[in-house]
Structure 1
Amino acid sequence: MAGDATHRGLDPQGFIEREGSLGRVPRAFRPVVASARDRLLGLFGARLHSAYLYGSIPRGTARVGRSDLDLLVALREEPADADRAGVRVLGEAVDKEFPQIDGVGTLLYGRARLLSAAETYDMGWFVACMCTPLLGEDLAEYLPRYRPDSLLARETNGDLALLLPAWRRRIAEAGGSGNSEAALRPLVRFMSRHLVRTGFTLVMPRWNGWTSDLAEMAEAFGAYYPQRAEQMRAVARRGREPAGDAAVLRSYVEDLGPWLAQEYTRVHGVKSARDD
């Protein structure tokens, strides 16, 4: 299992093992996965290259009524705005139909981008190690194997400083809505998970392993940054049980986020620039 002191999500050669499988999908979520699969085929048809599950559902740790369905879709060409709108409508329909999930998130890319040199240690790694094949040809066959090193750390999460201004805008926009608690709750969940994963990948090369368990990530981080350990544990708890608290989000963009971005740059450097 990931996190075992002698294993920590690595194979005997020290490469990160792929997470999840269709066989681990809990019984309660199998109709959700089947519906999403069929809807993706109907939406994209021959334009669909491949589709994947990721997150708690293929890892077998999803909780009924609490967990979301996470999908990654690769098209044969770069997606257009209409394609993005299509997956949003698809996600809303699946979420409405199945009360056992709490939302649907879909990442949408073109095949060429996922296999590009620029994405090899970012979205390429994500597909190869974090995603479970659902439909089509598995892009992992064209990607390298990955170690938990500083290059991977930099290219996966070395852009937090660039993200923080957009986070501040999203918080301001959500806080101004009529139902702020409901609007802020998804942001708390998303930003909490992102910060915990960034904290973990900051120490990942020293910890020498991989895990997607938020609590375990926070503990790994805290072993190297004890002054921030309890803070990160609280962030991990909010990643699993979020509440729409504006003060929490402000602390993320005014305290933990800026500190973490600065420390990440000091240790691993800045993520390579992308065209977009």
Structure 2
Amino acid sequence: MEHTRIGHKGLDGHGYIEREGSLGQVPPAFRPVVAAARARIAEAYGRRLHSAYLYGSLPRGTARPGESDIDLLVALQHEPDQDDLDAAEVLVQGLDQDFDVIDGGGILLFSKETLLSEQERYDLGWFLACLCTPLLGSDLAEHLPRYRPDTLLARETNGDLADVLPRWRERAAAAGSPEERRKLVRAVSRRLVRTGLTLVMPRWHGWTSDLRESAEVFGEYYPERATQMRAAAGTALTPTGDPDVLRAYLDDLGPWLAQEYAARIGTKARRTGHPGALVPGPDTA
């Protein structure tokens, strides 16, 4: 069955996913914080740094002042240690405190070896090559392949949702305030929408990072779940601390999506090791 083409499918003329975003697309209001991030990363890591990247709404040009966070990936010459994690925490907290234009942020820390490993070729490798904008250093994407929106990519990027759900439930049970739940809702809804998009990606033959477009694409293939996914896209952009919203994700949409993903796409290959870390800011789950 042919489905309506929604927007630009994010592919080049050969069917490969085009790299999204650029520093030139960063909205003017966010350029000072991006410049500060570049300078502070270089100062914090020095010779330990291989390269750094910006991803998310800022390089896509869709960031909203006071609502969007800053998302960074740092590639180190070695596996991250505690000093690296501490430096990242200080860095992201400093950016959040010094720039009202952002609402928190986070830094992904990995070694160059991990990012280029065969094990991460269709997960972190794809993420860097297609979703990250170079900010500092030599671009590791030059050592990675081109990627198509196929079943292999879908499986290796989001085929672990069933493993993630128990951790979300633990965090939901521990959340003691609406603000803590809001942060978790933001993270969970983003992940569910992106998982919904990659579930149908091999059939749609395209890619988009736009959450609302992702929900619409998903809804063409699963109309019975379209309303839920549109709502998830909305809460990803404007999160709520309502416990009923979180409960619906963890008890209904999430388990159904994990089951359907396993049946149609398969499950992600088990990792022998996954060195690296996400250092969250005040509003990054």
TM-score computed with the length of structure 1 as normaliser: 0.96
**CA deviations over 1:233-252 (Å, ceiling 9, x no partner):** 00000000001111111111
The corresponding residue for 1:55 is 56
Mapped partners of 1:87, 1:245: distance in 2: 30
| % identity of equivalent residues | 63
The corresponding residue for 2:160 is 159
The corresponding residue for 1:192 is 189
The corresponding residue for 1:240 is 237
The corresponding residue for 1:73 is 74
**CA deviations over 1:31-67 (Å, ceiling 9, x no partner):** 0001111111111001100000000000111000010
The corresponding residue for 2:142 is 141
User: Secondary structure of the residue that 1:227 maps to in structure 2?
Assistant: helix
Q: Would you tell me which structure has more helix in proportion to its own residues?
A: 1
Task: Give 1:89 shift.
Answer: 1.5
- Would the alpha carbon gap of residues 6 and 93 (structure 1) be closer, same or farther in structure 2, given more than 3 Å must change? closer
The corresponding residue for 2:276 is none
Taking only aligned residues, the RMSD between alpha carbons, in angstroms, comes to: 1.2
The corresponding residue for 1:273 is 270
Tell me, yes or no, if the aligned pair for 2:17 and 2:206 is still in contact at 8 Å: yes
The corresponding residue for 2:217 is 220
**CA deviations over 1:188-223 (Å, ceiling 9, x no partner):** 111100000000000001111110110000000010
Tell me, yes or no, if the aligned pair for 2:6 and 2:217 is still in contact at 8 Å: no
Of residues 245-254 and 228-237 in structure 1, the stretch that sits farther from structure 2 once superposed is 245-254
Mapped partners of 2:7, 2:254: distance in 1: 31
The corresponding residue for 2:170 is 169
The corresponding residue for 2:129 is 128
Mapped partners of 1:97, 1:4: distance in 2: 42
**CA deviations over 1:164-203 (Å, ceiling 9, x no partner):** 11101111111x3xxx111111111111000000000000
Unaligned segments of structure 2, at least 5 residues: 274-285
Task: Give 1:20 shift.
Answer: 0.3
Unaligned segments of structure 1, at least 5 residues: none
The corresponding residue for 2:280 is none
1:97 partnered with 2:94: no
AA aligned opposite 2:254: G
Task: Give 1:7 shift.
Answer: 4.3
1:262 partnered with 2:259: yes
Would you say how many aligned residue pairs link Structure 1 and Structure 2? 270
1:251 is aligned, of 234, 248, 254, to: 248
User: Secondary structure of the residue that 1:108 maps to in structure 2?
Assistant: strand
